[in-house]
Structure 1
Amino acid sequence: MGSVSNTMSESIQLTLAGEARMVAFGRLLADACQGYGTVYLQGNLGAGKTTLCRGVLRGFGYEGAVKSPTYTLVEPYEMEQASVYHFDLYRLGDPEELDFLGVRDYFDSPSLCLIEWPDRGKGFLPAADIILSIEYLPEARIVTVDPQTGHGRAICKTIAGRQGMLAEEVC
């Protein structure tokens, strides 16, 4: 079961039970982002950040394997509908490494950037449009969507308007 509630005037909190719900939310997020933006993903190891990214990619029609780019730092996905860059900064030694890798180029084009462990890139990453915080519970995940920009508020508004999609049974 999935549910959505407003925790503040702009933030949204969702309770997502099961991997299928997290993937369904990722698909909804893909649609809400309209193919561009910067999304920070926060949560402990195993919280479901990569599963959410898989859902976003499925929302753009990508059917291949999706793994966390823990060692490569970024995995690009060029699709007809969007360019999505999945970052995992967990093993980043120093934020300055991002500059050496040329990651700023990923943010200069119209694309959707999903960034796991964004705190490790502080000072070298652009501001987030939304910050997604995922809290692990034994039988569900609590996802808080916190908008940071006008685009982020539009994303939240779309998610709130489609909350029924997450309440329906997921196959």
Structure 2
Amino acid sequence: MKIALPDLAAMEAFGQQISAKLAPGDVVALSGTLGTGKTTLARAIIAALGHEGEVPSPTYTIIETYDGLPVPLVHADFYRLEDPAEAAELGLDDYREGAALLAEWPDHAGGFAHEPNCLAIALEKVGEGREAVVTPGTSWQSRWP
């Protein structure tokens, strides 16, 4: 399914739509080239869940956690990983326990599309806006519009 995201307001509304369906154990796998809006969408999801304040990009820290939300979140940016095994070395499985994962550059961590609780979103530039190609895993199919 393709969703047009012509501006920031549309990206924020899309983030709200995702956050309303998000549950512990879910993965939102955000892929796309540099500058397509992966971090912007992750921030919209985090804000829609009620986080107030700054949401730093985890480009350098790799993992940021948000425990005080209705759905605890792990926001990870795997861009800097050189081998998928590094995700395990970071303790990713421990972070994911009881939390949802927002994963930027999921392919650098070995990917998550094989997981039934994965909502894969590929962002692409379209003119001045973006387009999201959404592929819901089996557990998302009943929740996704």
Relative to the length of structure 2, the TM-score reads: 0.89
Q: Following superposition, which runs of at least 4 residues in structure 1 exceed 3 angstroms of deviation?
A: 123-126
Counterpart among 80, 98, 101 of residue 113 in structure 1: 101
| Identity within the alignment, % | 37
Q: Does 1:73 align with 2:45?
A: no
Task: State the secondary structure of the residue aligned to 1:142.
Answer: strand
For residues 101-151 of structure 1, the C-alpha deviation after alignment (integer angstroms, 9 at most, x for no partner) is: 111112232x210100011111799725210011112321111110122x2
Task: State the secondary structure of the residue aligned to 1:156.
Answer: coil
Using the TM superposition, give the Cα deviation of residue 67 of structure 1 relative to its aligned residue in structure 2, in angstroms: 2.5
Counterpart among 64, 75, 87 of residue 76 in structure 2: 87
Counterpart among 118, 135, 144 of residue 133 in structure 2: 144
Q: Matched residue pairs, number?
A: 144
Letter in 1 for 2:107: D
Gaps of 5+ in 2: none
Gaps of 5+ in 1: 1-11, 158-171
Partner of 1:122: 110
Contact between 1:107 and 1:126, CA under 8 Å: does it hold in 2?
no
CA RMSD of aligned residues (A): 2.0
Task: State the secondary structure of the residue aligned to 1:27.
Answer: helix
Relative to the length of structure 1, the TM-score reads: 0.77
> What is the distance in 1 between the residues matched to 2:111 and 2:25?
21
